[in-house]
Structure 1
Amino acid sequence: MKSQDIRNTFLNFFEEKKHSIVPSAPMVLKDDPTLMFVNSGMAPFKEFFLGNAQPKNNRLADTQKCLRVSGKHNDLEEVGYDTYHHTLFEMLGNWSFGDYFKKEAIAWAWELLTEKFEIDKDILYVTVFEGSNDDDKLPMDQEAYDFWKALIPEDRILMGNKKDNFWEMGDQGPCGPCSEIHVDIRSAEEKAKVDGKTLVNMDHPQVVEIWNLVFMQYNRKANGSLENLPDKHIDTGMGFERLCMVLQGVQSNYDTDVFTPIIREIETITDKDYGKNEKVDVAIRVISDHVRAVAFSIADGQLPSNTGAGYVIRRILRRAVRYGFTFLDKKEPFIYRLVDVLVNKMGKAFPELKEQRQLIENVIKEEENSFLRTLDQGLLLLDRIITHSNSKEISGNKVFELKDTYGFPEDLTDLILRENGFTYNHDQFNKKLKEQQERGKKASQLKSDDWTVLIDDEEQEFIGYDTLEAQVKITKYRKVTSKKDGEQYQLVFNITPFYAEGGGQVGDKGYLEDAHGDVVYIIDTKRENNVVIHFAKNLPKHINDTLKASVDTKQRYRTECNHTATHLLHQALREVLGTHVEQKGSAVHSKYLRFDFSHFSKLTVEELRDVESFVNRRIEGKLPLKEQRNIPMQKAIDEGAMALFGEKYGDTVRTVRFGQSIELCGGTHVKNTGDIWHFKIVSESAVAAGIRRIEAITSDAVKDFYFENNRAYFEMKDLLNNAKEPVKALQSLQDENTSLKKQVDTLLKEKAKSIKGDLKSELSEVNGVKFLAKKLDLDAAGIKDVCFELGSQFDDLFLLFGAEHNGKAILSCYISKELVASKDLNAGTIVRELGKYIQGGGGGQPFFATAGGKHPNGIDEALNVAIDYIK
């Protein structure tokens, strides 16, 4: 059975059982602060499990794209080395929200596996929660055991501990016991030697879990205790790739038709054969897995970057590149060439791959080129370290620096060192890595109390499209604490005029006021699992009273101007550049707007002017807002509304129209484009391959922009003695300045040359290093020239020069690259440490760095201690 047929059989089976089949949600989560990516099939349905929303049908089924590469569930390092772990995988799932429970979930799972898919009952095992004797004191799941006993011999029902058979959403929230279904696909000879039940949950590659049936019946509170949920739910997840392995009669997920087309293409591109060399096989598995994760992430709106979810995607892609670089001898981009095969294989089930094919290819190719340049630089540095090392063990600090500063992966460093008969100090490296991880963990750590419920009101209404003030009641609140924000309170109202951050638009700010005049400021508004949450530094004194909630009208107005302008900008770009332009992200603040879009080249001055003019004509046209709320999604699309990149939409949507611009949007907007006053582009730049970014301002910010420019103009005229043609006068000054600067540069170079001869004679030898620390009468550029001139003549040079320029202190440190490698010296670290003497700081590269400060009198002291670094 082919993978497409397996997927369809699953969905059709549950459709017959009166389940609604829903499409996969985007992998990148936007309204759940506890998760970076969807890592399980249930994640998109958390709002239903928490009771914050009601599904149209209490029975749902789907295949959900999942990514497990961060946080608690992280399979990244296993990928490629075994046959069944993946970064991206499909989770087939069926769900019941307060409808059927254990009996039906178990019976239907068994029916689908053994009757529809015709899996031999004799190769299946099931596990049941055995209970626990810890603080929870949970009983054995006798109910599930009895249901299974009617379907399968008791010797195939195994008891599972809390780790394997009690599923929790997180530290808090819905949870419950689960039953796992495992399959034993070993040969008859292997089964005769070892009983399969002894291999369940033992990470055996041919005795694997394929389906987990979770029985949600408890709620985990902040203090760790459990309480019964008001409704019981079913949450199941079956690994699609593992199911394909079983049904296609192969011993590895990578031997299924989910992966074989990609593997064949890798073989063709690299001229390597899969199945003949273990290291090559691991590399091919890594690449075939990782290209799926990266492609789907880009298709769902997450581009590689240096922070957050984008950094995770960049890390996955770079892991694939380095395996190709090391084991497949690919020193040029090639992973982007696999996208075609992936789209042909999975584009029918996931049309977003087809729609974003060109973008995916462009981004992957650019990322490959960038990382290959990083690898080249790292290889040079590593070669110097090896060449100048006096020991066969390299410092772990150097290996960490290669990783942290230059992005050179430690496993590749380890491989190259071992190939050259070297090793490195793993303890030092791990200590540095742990320190870095702890810093990141502390910075992001969040502790939250249980919700204190004041009013049992599950329905919350947003009224902020129509009013910015309301009389509200607080229905529940909780305290949250983090290192970044300190102690805050999260408040939920029965109705709210506050817009929660979403769709690129910032959350509202404002205040609550009671009848006594006491005020609590709302500092942010966010949405979490379909609930609008208001952040405050303290609680209202009269928390049970009816309170007046007021949105900051000035911030809301400015934000609305910018949001409406993004819609007009989108329309303008498609009109001026072409209909290939698609929105790829946006940020709408009160002070500015940012708009990312697909386009292949930098915009010309004429194109930017045309875009600006297009938007401002629509502003001058005073186009009224025409919105439709809660209309069917398909009707909105049929009317021409544009669905935005990476957004998750429900069955009903809101459309926002200004003239010919019509988009699906939940954000807030001005009532008329004339309210925007004016639109001004302030920058245009590249974000990634094929992605451009425009930053712009509107309304009051434009007025401030023109006011500042006007003021600067008259100040310039005044400095030019009120010249009638200030541009010409300024050009004349620039020409004169350029001529004088050339003369000064020539004199300074001559001065530096004459100084260089003197400095050579002042070099002293300390511990085999040519050393000099001295104060010079040169500017920073002149000092740098001297450093590199001397550096070109010596390969064992340590220089520290100080200078005073315009009342400021300068320190410049130069260290021969050979010394950087052999003596574990770093100019950047040294100038940062010496910067304290001049009350400043700085940094740079390991071989050359500078620091600036406001205390020139400290230069001599810094020069005096420099020798300590090489003694």
Structure 2
Amino acid sequence: MDSPEWTGVRVRKTFFEFFEERGHTIVPSSSVVPYNDPTLLFTNAGMNQFKPIFLGTIAGSDDLSKLKRAVDTQKCIRAGGKHNDLDDVGKDSYHHTFFEMLGNWSFGDYFKKEAIEWSWELLTKVYGLDPSRLYVTYFEGNPDLNLEPDFEAKELWKSVGVPESHILPGDMKDNFWEMGDQGPCGPCSEIHYDKVGGRNAAHLVNQDDPLVVEVWNNVFMQFDRQKDKSLKPLPAKHIDTGMGFERLVSALQDKKSNYATDIFTPLFDQIQRVTGARPYTDTYGKDDSDGIDTAYRVVADHIRLLAFAISDGAVPNNEGRGYVVRRVLRRGSRYARKYFGAEIGSFFSRILPALVEQMGEQFPELVKQQQDIKEILDEEEDAFARTLDRGERQFEKYAVQAASSGTNKLSGADVWRLYDTFGFPEDLTKLMAEERGLETDENEIAIAREKAREASKAVKEAVQTFAKLNVHQIAELKDKIQLPLPNDEPKFSIKFSEDDMTGKVQLIYTGTEFVKSTKDIAPNTPFGILLDRTNFYAEQGGQVADTGKIVIDDVAEFEVRDVQQFGGYIVHNGFLKYGELKAGDVVTCEYDELRRQPIRNNHTGTHILNHSLREVLGDEVNQKGSLVDQDKLRFDFSHKTAVTLPELKKIEHLSNEYVRQNCKVYAKDVELDLARRINGVRAVFGETYPNPVRVVSVGIDVDMLLETPENPEWRKVSVEFCGGTHVEKTGIIKDLVIVEESGIAKGIRRIVAYTGEAAHRVQREAEEFGKRIAAIESLPFGPEKEAEVKQATVDLNNLVVSTLTKEDLKVRFSKVVKAVVEEQKKRQKAESKTALDAVTGHFTKEENKDSKYFVGHLPISANAKAISDVMNHFKSKDKTRTVYVFGGSEAEGVVVHGVYVGTEHSSQGVTAELWAAAVTEVVGGKSGGKEPTRQGQGTNADKITEAVAVAEKWLAEKLKISE
């Protein structure tokens, strides 16, 4: 395609320049993962990052708090939660799960006039869009809410040259924007574009016509919606705009479809190169007879969402936004295979380079994290590929049954089973059903889902612990039943063949006896299965057991919750979800690869850490225990003293150097005596090893080690006796981050470390905390800075990040704390002087020379120390006089007060306790102390003046009575 005059890059750049010339600050897009907003699954609109400004909750330490005008392009995702465009993607020309939202913003600065004039100028004068194709809307009002029509906006549109026939009223749905049930809101004015032209398209505005689309929305934020639904004017009026980048580019390139623009053509070209498919022709519905164009759109859209979501930390998993990412990837994978015949396992990562090249300049996070994104995409695809064939076969079976039943409906139980057993998200199954002309029933699916959850809940309690094989049962298996030991070599395979996933049921272990069928075992009862061959890893050597499924497709499914080895026999513990299993059944063994993958990272990471510890701390370091699971690695070792920070730094550095060499990991069974001769080989002291023993070497082939086992060079290599699972190459680990070093017993130390995505997550959190410290540092001294420091102190203590990084953060933060403390002392001293000067100044005035007391509100903050200093002065230096002093203000929301009763008044029956009690009734809170003093704090700061009057009146009445 010839390069258009208005390329996507030029459109974006022009937008920035236009508003930058008008005093706007270019603000980077926030993450698509809204870490600071738990109400959102993903960032779904340009205003999300500015929400605290509109709500008035933004901290002074936030850089955004200083903005008056801003311009940006925001990465947005609408594929889950309240805003979900996933089902429409591919079917029409303008829906996307990922899109950019261009926006210009005014925070209490300019308002309607400028927003409307600039909108029209940019679209018609700068971009050169035909004004006759543009239609604008304004809010028509709502009498029930006492909202007048926004005739001001209408007149402003007329003043820039929009004919009245192109200015249309709109209701609350289309032309009144609200952040939520409560909060900032206001009328809005949309701009719509007619892609056809040469006609009056006013009647098609806001009618979901694909050829008359909204391109820009100007929101005039001027109200605050209250709990009672009433509208209260905001203290400041704001402008919040959003323009769909893809829609704007489509208009400027005169395309009927967003997908026909240069935003998507580089991705389509790459898809064609990878798949060899016919070129993209931008057809829809029945015109797209082979479904290829739809598949192009789906894949191109989905790689955008996947890359941006993963780069911002939304990695695929089974919960929340992680599940959305997984669903999108699996949906796209199925399209790629069905319509392009693509091999699943590394499909999306081959499209990724085109996206990075196209968008990497505007969004450098794509460039920085390209390798991580690729690896995560490949891992996810590979895991899904293992069940995709079987799942599609099962779907075909269900589809035939549904068609022949006459109902033409896929049952809810079948939809759920395709997810539960084969990992097919519900929306993917619905899509496949739609392709076959089958219906699905949401209610049935919900019932099946809930039934499965209830069963799982009931099972959870029952399967906390599983029965073990005792010595007599092991002997029974060996001698009486004469059951051969299983072959568990497939557990070491990383790329699976069908053979690796196939086993045969030998026996069922009920917890007390061995049986040949599950038919007499009650539902949801925990039991064990013994197979002749398995790829499941049984817990040993510090590595946790695998979880997963043992399945006969559509016949029976056993959920594996734990795997243990007893005398060489491997018991898969769990419960039967449906069906029956019996001895002789051929089953598919499917461990959870997405759980195993980080376990492999952590196990190889443990070997590398063990090697680095010896390199830095010496040969005295010996392993004393370890735990390797999907979250972390934990390593216990002998060492007499705490590992110093410089030593930790060196250990972490050496470990990561090893990781980044991307060494191949080798493993081989070797005769024990020969294996022990390998120079520097690591083994756990006191552990009994089998003969032959499995030797794992990171970087050097085991056969090479065995050629010259005493070679001193092998001392530089990580070589261990180990029966665990490991990565193919160390680069897969990505990073190793030490998050804890501690002592657990005399002479025994413990290190906890993260690898892979977990390591990247804590690095991101550390980086965010570093930004937070910088923001706090830039705040002017005052209550807000003090509060921020107080909260950050707590959060820093609880922060789980690299030990080294945390120490750096503590050093940086301690300087901020020190500066705040010094300023507090300085202010404290100044306020104490101000308070004391105010009181002593009262007594030194000529008219007050005979005064014996002072009651008053001092010109100080709610400073309890200053109040105390005043009391102590009179207590030690002017004992005859009495003072009752107050500090604080309504703005602070706190009042402090204190009393000292001089000797002259105490002899007249005046007590600090009773006097303070009278004041406390007014200001609230409590007071305490020992006669002749009393000090308190209250929350009714709006009643300080009243409290001063009450204090004066109480003393006057007390002295009158004593006279």
Structure 1 counterpart of 2:480? none
Aligned letter for 2:218? L
Shift of 1:372: 2.2
Structure 2 counterpart of 1:144? 153
Residues 1:376 and 2:392 are matched in the alignment:
no
Selected match of 1:293 from 305, 321, 331: 305
Rg (Cα) greater in structure: 2
Residues 1:391 and 2:405 are matched in the alignment:
yes
Structure 2 counterpart of 1:226? 231
**Match runs of 1:488-527 below 5 Å:** none
Deviations 1:565-593, CA, capped at 9 Å, x for gaps: 99997885344213988xxxxxxxxxxxx
Shift of 1:378: 1.3
Structure 1 counterpart of 2:898? none
Q: Equivalents in 1 of 2:131, 2:796: separation in Å? A: 64
CA spacing shift, 1:187–1:362, aligned 2, 3 Å:
same
Q: Secondary structure at the match of 2:114?
A: helix
Q: Equivalents in 2 of 1:381, 1:200: separation in Å? A: 45
Residues 1:9 and 2:14 are matched in the alignment:
yes
Q: Secondary structure at the match of 2:43?
A: coil
Query: Which range moves more in the overlay, 313-322 or 349-358?
Result: 313-322
Deviations 1:115-161, CA, capped at 9 Å, x for gaps: 11111111100000111244x23211111111111121111100111
Shift of 1:171: 1.5
Q: Secondary structure at the match of 1:32?
A: coil
**Match runs of 1:598-637 below 5 Å:** none
Structure 2 counterpart of 1:63? 73
Normalising by structure 1, what TM-score?
0.52
Q: Secondary structure at the match of 1:170?
A: coil
Q: Equivalents in 1 of 2:45, 2:766: separation in Å? A: 24
Residues 1:120 and 2:130 are matched in the alignment:
yes
Q: Secondary structure at the match of 1:214?
A: strand
Structure 2 counterpart of 1:408? 424
**Match runs of 1:57-456 below 5 Å:** 57-134=67-144, 136-151=145-160, 152-186=162-196, 188=198, 191=199, 195-273=200-278, 274-275=280-281, 277-278=288-289, 279-333=291-345, 334-385=347-398, 391-393=405-407, 396-406=411-421, 407-409=423-425, 413=429, 423=438, 426=441, 429=444, 432=447
Structure 2 counterpart of 1:514? none
Aligned letter for 2:13? N
Q: Secondary structure at the match of 1:578?
A: helix
Shift of 1:327: 2.1
Q: Secondary structure at the match of 2:234?
A: strand
Q: Equivalents in 2 of 1:197, 1:368: separation in Å? A: 46
Aligned letter for 1:391? S
Q: Tell me if the contact between 2:398 and 2:410 (Cα under 8 Å) persists in the aligned partners.
A: no
Q: Tell me if the contact between 2:395 and 2:418 (Cα under 8 Å) persists in the aligned partners.
A: no
Deviations 1:589-632, CA, capped at 9 Å, x for gaps: xxxxxxxxxx9856999x99x9699999xxx9xxxxxxxxxxxx
Q: Secondary structure at the match of 1:405?
A: helix
Query: Which range moves more in the overlay, 384-393 or 166-175?
Result: 384-393
Q: Equivalents in 2 of 1:429, 1:567: separation in Å? A: 61
Q: Tell me if the contact between 1:576 and 1:611 (Cα under 8 Å) persists in the aligned partners.
A: no
Shift of 1:419: 7.8
Q: Tell me if the contact between 2:398 and 2:414 (Cα under 8 Å) persists in the aligned partners.
A: no
Structure 1 counterpart of 2:53? 48
Aligned letter for 1:327? Y
CA spacing shift, 1:401–1:669, aligned 2, 3 Å:
closer
CA spacing shift, 1:181–1:392, aligned 2, 3 Å:
same
Structure 2 counterpart of 1:27? 32
Deviations 1:648-691, CA, capped at 9 Å, x for gaps: 94794479xxxxxxxxx995489999xx9x999xxxxxxxxxxx
Q: Equivalents in 1 of 2:646, 2:394: separation in Å? A: 48
- With a CA cutoff of 8 Å and minimum separation of 6, indicate the structure with the bigger relative contact order: 1
Normalising by structure 2, what TM-score?
0.47
Q: Tell me if the contact between 2:175 and 2:188 (Cα under 8 Å) persists in the aligned partners.
A: yes
Query: Which range moves more in the overlay, 388-397 or 68-77?
Result: 388-397
Q: Secondary structure at the match of 2:75?
A: strand
Q: Equivalents in 2 of 1:209, 1:200: separation in Å? A: 8
CA spacing shift, 1:19–1:153, aligned 2, 3 Å:
same
Q: Tell me if the contact between 1:213 and 1:236 (Cα under 8 Å) persists in the aligned partners.
A: yes
Q: Tell me if the contact between 1:129 and 1:160 (Cα under 8 Å) persists in the aligned partners.
A: yes
Q: Equivalents in 1 of 2:650, 2:47: separation in Å? A: 37
Instruction: Name the structure with the higher strand share.
Output: 1
Q: Equivalents in 2 of 1:111, 1:370: separation in Å? A: 52
Q: Equivalents in 2 of 1:99, 1:246: separation in Å? A: 30
Q: Equivalents in 2 of 1:437, 1:40: separation in Å? A: 35
Shift of 1:400: 2.5
Structure 2 counterpart of 1:506? none
Q: Tell me if the contact between 1:94 and 1:236 (Cα under 8 Å) persists in the aligned partners.
A: yes
Deviations 1:154-186, CA, capped at 9 Å, x for gaps: 111001111011111112110110000011111
Q: Equivalents in 1 of 2:157, 2:433: separation in Å? A: 54
Structure 2 counterpart of 1:37? 42
Q: Equivalents in 1 of 2:228, 2:358: separation in Å? A: 47
Q: Secondary structure at the match of 1:104?
A: helix
- Aligned pair count? 497
Q: Tell me if the contact between 1:26 and 1:648 (Cα under 8 Å) persists in the aligned partners.
A: no
Shift of 1:320: 1.1
Deviations 1:347-388, CA, capped at 9 Å, x for gaps: 001110000000111111111122222322312333454677
- Share of identical aligned residues, percent? 44
Q: Equivalents in 2 of 1:247, 1:110: separation in Å? A: 15
Aligned letter for 2:656? L
Structure 1 counterpart of 2:23? 18
Shift of 1:300: 1.0
Structure 2 counterpart of 1:535? none
Shift of 1:26: 0.8
Q: Equivalents in 1 of 2:215, 2:294: separation in Å? A: 23
Q: Secondary structure at the match of 1:27?
A: coil
Q: Secondary structure at the match of 1:90?
A: strand
Shift of 1:52: 1.8
Deviations 1:519-559, CA, capped at 9 Å, x for gaps: xxxxxxxxxxxxxxxxxxxxxxxxxxxxxxxxxxxxxxxxx
CA spacing shift, 1:413–1:23, aligned 2, 3 Å:
closer
Aligned letter for 2:190? E
CA spacing shift, 1:438–1:210, aligned 2, 3 Å:
farther
CA spacing shift, 1:265–1:32, aligned 2, 3 Å:
same
Deviations 1:773-817, CA, capped at 9 Å, x for gaps: xxxxxxxxxxxxxxxxxxxxxxxxxxxxxxxxxxxxxxxxxxxxx
Q: Tell me if the contact between 1:400 and 1:432 (Cα under 8 Å) persists in the aligned partners.
A: no
Shift of 1:70: 2.2
Q: Equivalents in 1 of 2:451, 2:652: separation in Å? A: 43
Q: Tell me if the contact between 2:193 and 2:215 (Cα under 8 Å) persists in the aligned partners.
A: yes
Q: Tell me if the contact between 1:299 and 1:646 (Cα under 8 Å) persists in the aligned partners.
A: no
Shift of 1:336: 1.2
Shift of 1:83: 0.9
Q: What residue ranges of structure 1 are gaps of 5+ in the alignment?
A: 440-563, 582-598, 621-640, 656-664, 681-871
Q: Equivalents in 1 of 2:417, 2:39: separation in Å? A: 31
Q: Equivalents in 1 of 2:308, 2:261: separation in Å? A: 19
